[in-house]
Structure formats: C-alpha cells, structure tokens
Amino acid sequence: MVFSSLTFIYYFLPAVMLLYFFMPAKGRNALILASSLFFYAWGEPVYIVIMILSTAIDYTAGRFIAKYDNDNKKRTVFLVISVVMNISLLMVFKYGSFFIANINSIFNTSINDPKLPLPIGISFYTFQSMSYTIDLYLRNIKVQKSFAGFSAYVTLFPQLVAGPIVRYEHVANEIDRRTVNINKISFGIGKFIKGLAKKVFLANNIGLIWTQVKEMDYTEISAATAWLGILAFAFQIYFDFSGYSDMAVGLGKMLGFNFPKNFVYPYMSKSISEFWRRWHITLGSWFKSYVYIPLGGNKKGAARTIVNTLIVWLLTGFWHGASWNFILWGLYFGILIIIERAGLGKLLRKLPAPVCMLYTFLLVVFGWVLFDTDTLSGGIDYIRAMFGSSGVFIDSTAKYILGTNVFIYLAAVFASTDCFTKAVEKIRIKNPMAVRCAAPAAGIAVLLLCTAYLVNASYNPFLYFRF
C-alpha cells in the first residue's frame, strides 16, 4: 500500500488535480470519490467493498435519522444500526483473531480462526463515518443528502488510510461549497513537501536502526543498544505519522479542505497530559467527544472520572491493535494521566521546563516499548535490557550505531522541536522577500531529493497503515 499511495501521488495526482481545477464545482465531489475509490482499490481491491458498505449504511442511517427528527425512538434505532455496524466491522476484521485466540487459550477450545486480512485504514474510515451519524443524532450537524458528497467525505484519499480522523463537522461547509486559490495551493504544496521530507529523510533512515535492534536477542543486547533502538523508534513513529498527516493536510488544502492538525511538537510536552493534547490530536478529540463526555467526563466525582479515564485509554490502546501489548500501552498512559491529575501535574508546573520535558519524553519512550514489541514478555525483556539486564552498558554494536548515525539522531531531535519553525519565522519577519523567493526553490529541491530517494529505496514503511 505504501508503494501504491506514493505511485498514486506521483503519477496520478497531477492529472486528478488538473481535472479538478477545471471541472465545475458540482462535479468535484464525484471526481474526488472516483479518485479515492481508485486509490483504495489500487492497494486493496477486495476490501473496497467493506468501505463502500460502511459508507452506504451510514449514509442511509443518516437520512432516516434526519427524516424522523421528531421521533426519538426511530432516530435511536438508526443510530444503533450505524454504530453496531461499524463496531462489528472492526470486531470481525481487526479483533476477530484476538478474541478467538484468547477464548481458545482460556477455555481450552479449538475455534477455527479464519485469519482475515485487515482492511487498510478501517480504524480511520469507520470512526469518520460513525462520527457523522452520532453528530447528526445529537443535532450538531445537518444531514448530507448527496450520496456522492457523503461518500467523498468518507473516502477522501488524502487521509483515507492513515488519518487524521476528519469528523464531518470539520468539513461540513466544504463538502458542497469550497474554494481553491493560489494561496491554498501554495500552502498545500509546502505542507505536503514538509510531510514528505519528514517521512523520507527522517522516519525511513532512523527507522532502519530500530528494525535492526528489534530483531536482536533482548537478553543479550547492551543497555546503550536498547536505548538507541527505542529512541530510533520514537522518532520513526513521530516523523512517519506526523509526516503523513502533513501530506494529508497539504493535499486537502489543495482540494479546498481544511483538515484539522494532528501533531503539534509532542516531544516538547511538559507532561503526559500535554503530550496527548499534541499527539494524534484527532483521535484524542474523537474519544473525548464520543466516549469520555457521554460517560460523564469529570462531572460525576473523582472515582467516576478515574473509571471514565481508564475506559477511554483502554479503548485507545485497543484501537491501535488487537493485542494485550496495545491494551496495556493504553492503560499505562491512562494511569499516568490519572496520577498527574491527582497532584503530580501541580508539582511538574513548578519544575524547570527541561526537567518536565525529559520526564515526559522518557515515560513516552517506555510506552513505545510496549507499543512495538510483539509480546508482553518481549516488552518486559526489552525494558530490562534498557536497565542493563545483560550486564553490559555499552558494546561494539551501540558504538557502531551511534558512530554511523549520530547526525540522523541529532537531526531528529532538532526537527522534533519548533526551533526550525521559529528561526524561519524570524528571518521572514526581518526579510520577507528573501523567504518568499527562497521557499519555492527550496521546496522543488526537497521534492526532487525525496523522489530520487524513493526511486532507490528498499525500506519505506508507513507504520499507521496497519491501524
């Protein structure tokens, strides 16, 4: 799917954009829908049926929810149909094997596991589609009467398979009426190139280190090797996912859509709570709106707030994948947030910012161990290795990794902060014409370098496609 998405972007997107700009406004949704279906079918020719089915059911449910606006019982029935259908798709295709394996293990049964392949992006498009019917039921939005318009929203190819999660209310006004001008196109191109550079130059290169370390025997690696490996993954997942989000926002802007931000320099956070206000923002917003607040949020006492927080974070972990590691990863962050709310947060606000940032980053790094090790025992072994369980602090492997990759680590640290953005802004204020003239040339150069890299690259994963 990675090759498919980049092939589509490089070879088909220019033609799509050209048609889009010269096409009458009424035909643009149809073009987006056709392009999105083609894009998805290119990498997922069979399971495109699942996405179309989900879209059709939610569209129909939405029409009936609007039709029976004065009959709450009927409106509720159609909302339940929509929610149950979307959750059922996730349960069957994403979590079926997990439940079957655990049932067989606990009850000593032998239920056959069909091991259905996971439809690409199912966690993203089901959440998007479901948010529409929920918001319609709550009367937060108006019904979308055009099937092409609603389908274009669900299948928007810029963010279809890896987010950000775009709720209908984010683009409700733009589905039927949106404008495209030179400023939006210019901003969109710049944002897209920025995201592509994150992905190609940073995520891919530093990700190679984690791929090598992850395959080693965790009981034998040195503490330094373990730290260098998981730090590599911490930067890989950030630049991979935020890079794709930037590309999606840029492409959306070129089409006239304003997608929400998904990342705001999360590794500069001074607490775990702040980190999750900066990381995968659209997912956190989704769970807050549709799970945490309906459960009562923090309005029903301290005990209920703790329970609601744990439920949200259990589901957040489970959303990412069907394994106990993901569940524990979610609960890990839920517990940390509860502890911060209980008083640690006040203490952190009194400490120097660098201390708080180090505290946050280290706890996030330990979380990434759970996130990307295959088993719970593997995660525990890896954390033990980080504390020197092998008896070796640094070995030749660690020295080689650091010696050959010191610049990529430094670049990753620098690029994960807002230092570069602030520096450019200062230059822009002092000499706006210089920035305005240099930006296009720099963008073209970066795009050409990224293209040259991708032509010869053998390692080019998109981590969030699996979710």
Q: Is the separation of the CB atoms in 143 and 62 below 8 Å?
A: yes
- Predicted confidence (pLDDT) at residue 270 exceeds the cutoff of 70: yes
Query: End-to-end distance of the chain based on CA atoms, in angstroms?
Result: 13
* Residue 1, pLDDT score: 44
Cα 336 to its chain centre, rounded Å, is 21
Tell me the catalytic residues.
320
The pLDDT score that the predictor gives to residue 3 is 42
Q: What is the pLDDT of residues 290-331, one digit of tens each?
A: 999 999 988 888 999 999 999 999 999 999 988 999 999 999
Residue, of 462 and 224, whose pLDDT is higher: 224
For residue 56, the model assigns a pLDDT of: 92
Tell me the C-alpha to C-alpha distance, in Å, between residue 345 and each of 35, 130, 274, 277, 290: 47, 34, 10, 14, 26
Average pLDDT (251-271) is: 93
Longest alpha-carbon distance in the chain: 72
Q: In the predicted model, is pLDDT for residue 2 greater than 50?
A: no
* Predicted pLDDT at 432: 76
Rounded Cα distance, 174 and 168, in Å = 10
For 147-166, b/e burial (b = at least 16 CB within 10 A) is: ebbbbbbbbbbbbbbbbbbb
Instruction: Say if residue 429 is exposed, middle or buried (CB neighbours under 10 Å; 0-12, 13-18, 19+).
Output: exposed
pLDDT of residue 231: 97
- From residue 82, how far is each of 4, 53, 69, 119, 315 by CA, in Å? 30, 11, 16, 19, 19
Q: Is-contact 415 205, C-beta < 8 A?
A: no
pLDDT, residue 273, reads 96
Residues sharing a CB contact under 8 Å with residue 116, sequence separation 6 or more, in sequence order: 92, 93, 96, 97
Query: Is it the case that residue 346 has pLDDT exceeding 60?
Result: yes
Residue 354 has pLDDT above 90, yes or no: yes
pLDDT of residue 230: 97
Determine the pLDDT at residue 288: 95
pLDDT > 90 in the chain, percent: 56
pLDDT at res. 466: 57
**Radius of gyration of the CA atoms of the chain, in A:** 23
In the numeric block, the tokens 């439920």 are attached to: 311
Tens of pLDDT along 413-437? Answer: 999 999 888 887 887 787 877 667 7
Alpha helical stretches, state H, 215-352: 223-255, 272-278, 281-287, 293-295, 302-320, 324-339, 345-350
pLDDT bin (cut points 50, 70, 90) of residue 451 is: confident
- pLDDT score, position 76: 95
Mean pLDDT of 98-109: 91
* Confidence grade of residue 339 (pLDDT, cut at 50, 70, 90): very high
At 20-76, the pLDDT tens digits run 888 887 788 888 888 888 887 777 778 888 888 899 999 999 999 999 999 999 999
> What is the residue-averaged pLDDT of the chain?
89
Judge whether 166 and 259 are in contact, CB under 8 Å. Answer: yes
Q: Is 262 helix (H, G, I), strand (E, B) or coil?
A: coil
Q: The tokens of 120 are what?
A: 């690409």
Is it the case that residue 214 has pLDDT exceeding 70?
yes
pLDDT at 4 exceeding the cut of 70: no
Q: What is the pLDDT of residues 113-143, one digit of tens each?
A: 888 888 888 888 899 889 999 999 999 999 9
Whether 457 shows a pLDDT value over 70: the answer reads: no
140-182 pLDDT, tens digit per residue, is 999 999 998 899 898 887 777 666 888 998 888 888 888 888 8
At 335 the pLDDT is 97
Contact 83/101 with Cβ under 8 angstroms?
no
Measured CA to CA, the distance from residue 37 to residue 19 in angstroms comes to 16
Range in 14-18, 85-89, 361-365, 392-396 the model is least confident about: 14-18
Residue-level pLDDT at 465: 56
The model's confidence at residue 102, banded by pLDDT at 50, 70 and 90, is very high
Tell which wins on pLDDT, 464 or 237. 237
